[in-house]
Structure 1
Amino acid sequence: MARYMFVTWDGGGNRVPTIAVARALVDRGHDVRVLGHDSQAEAYRAAHLRFTAYPSAPGFVLDPRPGGLLRLFTDRGLADDAVAQLTAAPVDIVVVDCTLVAVLDVLDRMDQRFAVLEHTMHDFLVPGFRALEAIAWTRGIRVARPRSHATPILVASVPRLRAPFPPQRPLSAGPGEVVYAGVMTPAVAARPDASTVVLTLSTFRFPDLVAMWQRILDAADGIDAPVVATLGRAVAPGEVTAPPGVRVLEWMPHDELFPDASLIVGHGGHGTTLAALAHGVPVLVLPLDTTSDQPRMARAVTLAGVGETLPRRAGPAAIRATIERMRRDAALHRRAQELGAAIRQLDGPRRAAQVLELAVSGGR
């Protein structure tokens, strides 16, 4: 039995992969605990994971603006909390969210073995970390050096959005090794006769979220197919008006909803987009946040021919026309199905757990 500590933050898209990997390790008999924000406690405890909230960050509320995210990523208080946890109860490996660069820097300086968990496509993150390094350096925080020492950099994603994938190398947890684990949510091929159009946007209340929801709901009016909208907790049902025939839910697990879907309309969040594609379902992306990975995900699905992109302020008529065209595009659906089959070949949680076990045993 090995001892693991996950260090994370309340980022929405990083919750599913963190829980999936931590649970896989627990199920394999390891000792696992999680350090995160108090706003995450309910979700992690519901997954039967031992959870401790950061003492230095009570009452956490995410500020998704660039300045707020930078303060979070370089927060030395979170690093001090992690060190205090390790002093009280040492572990073999600390698995750190890729964006918490202050935590990674401190662990690297104290020669604590750690892994990095990335929750979007690796190629998207690399340029961002180069830019972050220049900013963090002014605060005395290193970015590149800790990443080069990570054993390994574990990517909760796939190598690319085109099938087939490059041949998989043998698992390794050597310093700086990049390992693609795969999708972290259960997925099956969507039913061949599936017809439902699923509308699902961010769990964070971005400034344009409510207005975008209304435009998308207006676009759904008159579509000759079942339509389901999952609003999430960021939008109250009374804030938007759904046309007759649209089924509005607060939330529904992807693996229960997507097998019946023929098209997903979303904001380009990595988790939702990859879950849709894992089911072989094409996606229409309207990126909400230009500073995140959402525009990159939108370009990637478009270039791969498994989805299309519209600007976030696209009107109902343009959205409706695109939905109808995509529903009729047999080649689009065939490419999405081929990609879904390739994604489902990677058992993400199992691969992630295996490589973290290798990290304890020496890396190879």
Structure 2
Amino acid sequence: MNVRTYLFALVDGGGTVPPELGAAQRLVERGHQVTVLGEDSMASDVAAAGATFVPWTEAPNRASRRPEDDPYRDWECTNPLELFSRLLEFQFAGPAPAYARDMADAIDTVKPDLAVCSFFAIGAMVAAQARGVPFDVPFPNTYLLPVDGMPPVGLGLRPAHGPVTRFRDRIVRSLTLRQWNKGVPALNSVRASYGLPPVQEFFDQVHLARKHLVLTSAEFDFPAQMPLHVRYVGAVLDDPAWTSATPWTPPAGDGPLILVALSSTFQDQTSCLQRVIDGLAGLPVRGYVTTGPAVDPGMLTAADNVTVVEAAPHSQVLPHADVVITHAGHGTVVRALAAGVPVLALPHGRDQADNAVRISTRGAGITLSRKAKPGKIAAATQGLLDDPGYADAAGRLGAIIRRDAEAGRLIAELEEIEPVRHGANGDDLISPTPS
């Protein structure tokens, strides 16, 4: 095996960090040199992965995952247009020049064989392309870019099944792309400053990647007509590094164990957590709530049968759990399913409604509004406990997720360094090894 040098350019998306750093750690364990250009909030996680940490200096760099350090504050948006505007201004197009400068400096220092660029770090992709370094883009979730057959992201839609829903998808996709393409002038300005030709669509920059590595199972995602450079490589099921120092013992009693885990970043989830606790208080169960680093456990009022802690390694909790109640972030969902545990999903935004509909479509759980009352949460939880069909479906899907997670395709794809050449329009001239 040839020792390679990798440069990861990562943005702290909360649940995206453990699988991305899981890839970095696996490369380190195989003897490769790995540097992570990232935010200070993930510095200890990078150290735990065994990689070298380099902070963003000009690009956005949050100090922690607490809400006061979040530069985007997407939970404040009241409508989709406001969300698009904020994402472009503060996460994608606006800071692209700064991401590009930091990435160019890191490339000149590290001299990587391959860059691995977070989907959020568009500017880092520009710098990699300008420096002639092939780059991959990991998707630690389902596939997010528009493709034929896949419902538009963010709305929790099922796949189209007739002319009406196919028309729905075309309209929503067109409206969505129109919003994203408002970032094209800013992106092309950055590209021009590095001597690169303009792109037509905002996501053309992402499609210039050597590979898109989708860190889930194809059977969890919906089927669609994928470009040649898309690879389903299986989920990374590692616990976040920040949970490893927390010992876990099962709470007292013998009632069903309900694990509650909402976002590891702030999504204004405190009131939802309290309503979950209040719902579980009326059931003959043992509730176990992990708030994550964004919410202080002291802000919640625990019930007699509900334990509230900041963190616990879910890999130790899940073998004992009977139901998982979650915001439906991809990492929590796939770990729950891999353990054969059905899910009550309370989506809060981002890609969470899309994960929730994939769970309910496969019969592995139930979805409620994040504003659901305690009584409704309690009824849905009891329904998951009473109907073994949910656990059976979770077990069937979980067996596939475990199989793909253990197959090693992620590292095999990253170690296949031969770059892909692209035409002027981004089409592959030499296709990657077929899936």
Classify the TM-score, shorter chain.
0.7 to 0.9
Distance in 2, matches of 1:19 and 1:107, equals 20
- Aligned to 1:237, which of 274, 292, 297? 297
Alignment of 1:1-364 (within 5 A): 1-57=3-59, 60=62, 61-62=69-70, 63-65=72-74, 66=83, 67-70=85-88, 71-74=90-93, 75=95, 76-122=97-143, 127=152, 130=177, 133-141=180-188, 142=199, 143-161=202-220, 177-185=229-237, 195-207=256-268, 209-289=269-349, 292-347=350-405, 350-360=408-418, 363-364=432-433
Contact kept, 8 Å, 1:210 with 1:240, in 2: the verdict is: yes
Whether the 8 Å contact between 2:55 and 2:61 is mirrored in structure 1 is no
TM-score where L is the length of structure 2: 0.74
Separation in structure 1 between the aligned mates of residue 10 and residue 136 of structure 2, nearest angstrom? 12
Find the aligned partners of 1:186 and 1:194 in 2 and give their Cα distance: 27
Query: Structure 1: how far apart are the matches of 2:51 and 2:359?
Result: 34
Check the 8 A contact 2:211/2:231 in 1, yes or no: yes
The 3-state SS of whatever aligns with 2:416 is helix
Identify the range of structure 1 (231-240 vs 137-146) with the bigger mean alpha-carbon deviation: 137-146
Structure with larger Rg: 2
Give the superposed CA RMSD.
Answer: 2.5
Counterpart-to-counterpart distance in 2, 1:125 and 1:336: 27
Deviation at 1:123, TM superposition (A): 5.1
Q: How many residues align?
A: 346
* Structure 1: 5+ residue stretches without partners: 167-174, 188-192
Relative distance call for 1:340 and 1:125 in structure 2 (3 A) is farther
Q: Partner letter of residue 135 of structure 1?
A: K
C-alpha distance after superposition, 1:130-175 (max 9, x if no partner): 456412213134543333332211111111328xx99xxxxxxxx9
Letter in 2 for 1:203: S
Give a deviation string over 1:98-145, Cα, whole Å, max 9, x none: 222222233234432111111110157765684564122131345433
- Quick one: percent identity of the two aligned structures? 30
Question: Which amino acid is the alignment partner of residue 129 of structure 2?
Answer: D
Q: CA deviation at 1:222?
A: 2.6
**Distance verdict in 2 for CA 1:131–1:333, change over 3 Å:** farther
Unmatched segments (≥5 aa) in structure 2? 63-68, 75-82, 154-175, 189-198, 240-253, 421-431
- Contact persistence 2:107–2:128 (CA under 8 A): no
Distance of 2:209 and 2:61 partners within structure 1: 30
